[in-house]
């Protein structure tokens, strides 16, 4: 028993099994996609994709595959979640293999699980292809390890807000610990995060903001709870950001300038 993909091709479209593969595209750099994800894209009849770091990933699709954008543009949703659910099922019943392509890993703050659950309840075969998650890889791309021998033996990944938009109450719990805290989608709540860690008695704790991780635009801002708002105010980068709080942020491997080659794909 495994959720691993059942990637067979049927020569006859009429014999295609309706099925859904939820696929993680990884972060930023389009080469941070897995071989299995590339293979799933190539075997898709329909690709439903979110705002991806790089649309070049869609080039792995076979000629004639249907590609539908179902993500958010700015704050407007192109589709409601319920519409995506129905689209998955309808497209699979009509065309066969639907690949749902999402940034990062589809089970980390995505709706990948819900989509699989709905699809399976409606008779589709389902499979999951994990991806490189910004929960780990954003810090790493800035030379920061989420765990580090002698410094941090765990990391706690959360969003800054709950579904209703309130502050996540787990932030205050995490601020009482020494774990590495990784906050996704939290930059708009930075001042609240600073308040929480200050109130917990940790104004000097190290904090990093990593934006556009693993892309040529990557920027990292590193400071303390006390200084980070001032430092962040100087930057005007609107890209996706990950916040990392904890002593491991004091241990940064400073990178040499690199020659990124984002056009070269296998």
Nearest-angstrom CA–CA distance, 222 and 252: 9
Of 160, 165, 201, the residue nearest 182 (C-alpha):
160
What is the separation, in whole angstroms, between the first and last Cα of the chain?
A: 31
- Beta strands 76-77; 72-73: pairing state: antiparallel
Check 9, 55, 59, 72 and give the catalytic one.
72
Q: Please, which residue, 234 or 264, has the CB nearer to its own copies?
A: 264
Q: How far is the CB of 248 from its own copies (least distance, A)?
A: 9
Q: How far is the CB of 9 from its own copies (least distance, A)?
A: 11
Nearest-angstrom CA–CA distance, 260 and 214: 9
Quick check: 36 and 129 in contact, CB under 8 A?
Answer: yes
Q: Please, which residue, 149 or 236, has the CB nearer to its own copies?
A: 149
Q: How far is the CB of 115 from its own copies (least distance, A)?
A: 10
Q: Please, which residue, 48 or 130, has the CB nearer to its own copies?
A: 130
72 is catalytic: yes
Check 29, 45, 50, 105 and give the catalytic one.
50
Q: How far is the CB of 130 from its own copies (least distance, A)?
A: 4
Q: Please, which residue, 29 or 45, has the CB nearer to its own copies?
A: 29
Nearest-angstrom CA–CA distance, 264 and 55: 14
Catalytic residues: 50, 72
């Amino acid at each position: 028993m495994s959720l691993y993909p059942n990637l067979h091709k049927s020569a006859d479209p009429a014999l295609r099994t309706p099925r859904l593969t939820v696929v993680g595209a990884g972060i930023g750099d389009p080469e941070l996609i897995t071989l299995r994800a590339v293979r799933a894209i190539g075997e898709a009849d329909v690709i439903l994709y979110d705002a991806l770091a790089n649309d070049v990933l869609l080039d792995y699709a076979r000629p004639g595959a249907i590609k539908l954008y179902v993500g958010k543009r700015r704050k407007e949703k192109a589709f409601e979640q319920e519409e995506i659910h129905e689209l998955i099922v309808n497209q699979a019943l009509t065309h066969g293999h639907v690949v749902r392509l999402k940034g990062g890993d589809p089970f980390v703050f995505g709706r990948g699980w819900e989509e699989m659950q709905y699809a399976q309840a409606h008779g589709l075969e389902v499979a999951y292809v994990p991806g490189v998650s910004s929960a780990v890889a954003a810090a790493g791309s800035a030379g920061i390890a989420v765990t580090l021998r002698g410094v941090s033996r765990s990391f706690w990944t959360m969003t800054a807000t709950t579904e209703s938009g309130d502050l996540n109450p787990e932030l205050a719990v995490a601020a009482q610990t020494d774990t590495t805290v990784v906050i996704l989608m939290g930059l708009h709540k930075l001042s609240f995060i600073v308040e929480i860690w200050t109130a917990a008695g940790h104004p000097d704790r190290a904090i990093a903001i990593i934006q556009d991780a693993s892309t040529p635009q990557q920027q990292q801002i590193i400071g303390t709870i006390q200084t980070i708002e001032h430092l962040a105010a100087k930057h005007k980068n609107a890209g996706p950001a990950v916040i990392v709080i904890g002593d491991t942020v004091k241990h940064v491997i400073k990178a040499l300038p690199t020659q990124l080659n984002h056009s070269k794909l296998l």
